[in-house]
Chain A
Amino acid sequence: MSFIPAPISRFFHRTASPPHFYALADKLMPWLTALFLLLLIPGLYGGLVMAPADYQQGDSYRIIYIHVPAAWMSLFIYVMMAVMGGIALVWRMKLAEVMLISSAPIGAGFTFVALVTGSLWGKPMWGTWWVWDARLTSELILLFLYLGVTSLYGAIEDKRSAARAVSILALVGVVNIPIIHYSVEWWNTLHQGPTVSKMDKPSIHISMLIPLLLMAVAFKVYYAIAVLQAAKLELIRREPSAQWVKNLLEHKA
C-alpha cells in the first residue's frame, strides 16, 4: 500500500466498505439502466432495421450485433476478473473478491451467448452447426475457464479461501488466454487453411459499424448493471449478521 498516497487509499477504502458500496450501487442503478436503454434501442434499431443487408450473407449477418459484442464481453470480463483478483490478492480487498465472483457467471453467460450465436451464424454460412473455427474453439475453451472459476468457488466452503483461490486461478487464466488463443489460431491455420475465417471483417461499412459499437457499449453497461446487482447480493450473503445489513433490512421493511 505504501506506494499509493494516503488520501487516495483512504478514498478507496471508504468506497469499498460494504455499506458505502451498497448505497452507491443503489444510487447508480437508475442512471445505468437509462443509459443502457439509450444505447440498446438505437443500437438494435440501427443494426436490425437501418443497416443494409450484406451482399453475400443477406440478413443472416445481423446476428453479429449480438455475437460480436458478446464475444468482446467474454474476454473483457475475464480480464476484469483477473484485475479484481490481483487487487484482492495484493490488498485483500473484500469488495474486489465480491466483484470477481459476481463477474464469473455473467462472463460465462456472455461466452455461452457468443458460442450459441456463432453456431447459429455458422449454419447458413458453413451448412453445419459447428465448425472447428479458431474463434469458436477459443471461445469454447474460454467457457471452460469460466466454468473452472465458478466450480472452484462453489467447491471451497470457506468463502474467503475460495475467493483467494479463484483470484489465483483468474490470474493464471488471464496469462494463459493469449497463449491458448494464438496456439488455437495457429492450429487452425495448420489443419484447415484460411477458408473458414469469413468471420473476420477486414472492412465494415460505417452504417453497420455504428450500431455495432452502440451495442458493444450497451453490453458493457449491461455488465455494470448485472455485476453491481450480483455484488450487492453477494455482500449480504457473506455477512448476513453485519450491523449494516440489519439496518438495511429494517429500513426496507
Chain B
Amino acid sequence: MEYSHSAKLDIAELSCSRDDRQLFSGLSFSLQRGQVLLLEGSNGSGKTTLLRILCGFRPADGGQIYWIGQPLAGSSYFADMAYVGHADGIKKELTVLENLRFALALSQPGHYSIEQALQKVQLAGYDDNLVQTLSAGQKRRLSLARLLVTHNILWILDEPFTSLDKQGIELIETLMDDHVKNGGMVILTSHHDLSLSHLSLQRIHLDSCL
C-alpha cells in the first residue's frame, strides 16, 4: 500500500468550549508523515475532546481542519485514519477473527494480513477464541491489530497504554515506531512517559492553549 506523499494534517485556529467553559482556543499545528503528536494536559483539559473533534464526532466551535490541503468533508480523510478510543470497538460475542474480518469489510486492506497482524500483537493462535474470554490487555491488543489490518495513515489513539503491562506498552511503542517509519502519523494522548525519543515527537500541552 502506497501512502500519498503529500499526506498532511493541518489544524488552524481550532477552538472548543464545553458547558460554557473554554477548553482550548487558537490551537494550530500541522502533522506530516513520520511524525508523532503527543497531547498532554491535566484531566478535563480537552485532550479527549480534541481527539473526538479530529474524528469528526464533535464539531469544533471554530477553526479549520485540513487533510492534504482539503477540508475533511471533501477529502479521503476518513479512509486514511483510524481511531482507538476508550471503548475498544470490539464485539465480545464474536471471535478474534470475526472481529478483524468485520473491521476489514468496513475499510480497505492495509499492510498486514490478519495472521501477520495477530502475530505482531502476540495474539497468534487466538483466532477462534471469543473475545469475552480474553483479558483486558489482550482486548486492547486486538483493537490495535485492527489498525494493522486496515488501510490508514493517521492513527488517533486515546490513552492507548491503559490496562497494558510493561510488555504491552513496549509492544505499542514498537507498533507506532513501525507505523511512523512506514510513513504513517500518530496522534495520541497519554499519562505515560514515552520512550520514542528517537522519533520526531511533537508535544502540545493543552492547558496552555487557552
Residues of A within 8 A of B (CB): 92, 158, 238-242
B163 to chain A, nearest CB (A): 27
B124 to chain A, nearest CB (A): 42
Closest to A242 in B: B20
B56: chain A residues within 8 A (beta carbon): none
A240 to chain B, nearest CB (A): 6
Closest to A160 in B: B59
Q: Is the CB of B20 within 8 A of A92?
A: no
A42 to B200, CA, bound (A): 78
A240 to B18, CA, bound (A): 13
Q: Is the CB of A241 within 8 A of B59?
A: no
Q: Is the CB of B59 within 8 A of A238?
A: no
What 8 A-B pairs are tightest by C-beta distance, nearest first? A241-B20, A239-B20, A240-B20, A92-B59, A238-B20, A158-B19, A158-B18, A242-B20
Find residues 58-115 in chain B having any chain A CB closer than 8 Å to their own CB. Answer: 59
A158 to chain B, nearest CB (A): 8
B59: chain A residues within 8 A (beta carbon): 92
Closest to A237 in B: B20
The listed residue with most A CB atoms (<10 A of its CB), out of B18, B20, B59, is B20
8 contacts between A and B (CB under 8 A): A92-B59, A158-B18, A158-B19, A238-B20, A239-B20, A240-B20, A241-B20, A242-B20
* Interface 1/0 per residue, B14-30 and A, CB below 8 Å: 00001110000000000
Find residues 146-164 in chain B having any chain A CB closer than 8 Å to their own CB. Answer: none
B37 to chain A, nearest CB (A): 26
A238: chain B residues within 8 A (beta carbon): 20
Extra contacts, 5 of them, besides A158-B19, A239-B20, A242-B20 (Cβ < 8 A), are A92-B59, A158-B18, A238-B20, A240-B20, A241-B20
A158 to B61, CA, bound (A): 14
B20: chain A residues within 8 A (beta carbon): 238-242
A241: chain B residues within 8 A (beta carbon): 20
Closest to B61 in A: A160
Closest to A92 in B: B59
B48 to chain A, nearest CB (A): 14
A92 to B18, CA, bound (A): 16
A92 to B20, CA, bound (A): 17
A5 to B147, CA, bound (A): 44
A239: chain B residues within 8 A (beta carbon): 20
Closest to B18 in A: A158
A35 to chain B, nearest CB (A): 35
B64 to chain A, nearest CB (A): 14
A158: chain B residues within 8 A (beta carbon): 18-19
A158 to B20, CA, bound (A): 11
A241 to B20, CA, bound (A): 7
A242 to B17, CA, bound (A): 12
A92: chain B residues within 8 A (beta carbon): 59
A240 to B20, CA, bound (A): 7
A55 to B143, CA, bound (A): 78
A158 to B16, CA, bound (A): 14
A238 to B20, CA, bound (A): 7
B19: chain A residues within 8 A (beta carbon): 158
B143 to chain A, nearest CB (A): 26
A3 to chain B, nearest CB (A): 16
A239 to B18, CA, bound (A): 11
Closest to B59 in A: A92
A242 to B21, CA, bound (A): 10
A241 to B18, CA, bound (A): 12
* Interface 1/0 per residue, B132-151 and A, CB below 8 Å: 00000000000000000000
Closest to A241 in B: B20
A39 to B59, CA, bound (A): 44
A213 to B27, CA, bound (A): 56
Closest to B17 in A: A239
Closest to B19 in A: A158
A208 to chain B, nearest CB (A): 52
B93 to chain A, nearest CB (A): 29
